[in-house]
């Protein structure tokens, strides 16, 4: 077995420290990414809900308009 000197242990410590810093950085990047994705998902969900409500209101408005126009046409046709 070879004898391990201070330089070896210092190098081993620096490598281990670099690994820990890298892992912590990766974890922080992952957390940041998850937070950003949750925020985007929430925004898209809100926009989807708004769009669905807006589409429902427009559909109701269109039906009312078509109903009124149909009544007007029947009234106009049978009045003449």
Angle at 71 between CA 70 and CA 75, to 5 degrees: 120
Angle at 77 between CA 71 and CA 80, to 5 degrees: 135
Give the phi and the psi of residue 4 in degrees, each rounded to 5: -100, 125
What confidence score (pLDDT) does residue 5 get?
A: 86
Residue 70 reports pLDDT greater than 60:
yes
Residue 9 reports pLDDT greater than 60:
yes
Residue whose entry in the numeric block shows the structure tokens 């985007």: 40
What confidence score (pLDDT) does residue 23 get?
A: 94
């Amino acid at each position: 077995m070879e004898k391990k000197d201070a330089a070896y242990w210092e190098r081993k410590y620096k490598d281990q420290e670099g690994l820990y810093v890298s892992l912590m950085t990766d974890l922080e990047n992952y957390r940041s990414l998850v937070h950003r994705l949750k925020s985007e998902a929430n925004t898209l969900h809100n926009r989807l809900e708004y769009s669905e409500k807006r589409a429902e209101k427009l559909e109701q408005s269109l039906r009312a308009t078509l109903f009124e126009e149909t009544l007007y046409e029947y009234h106009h046709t049978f009045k003449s």
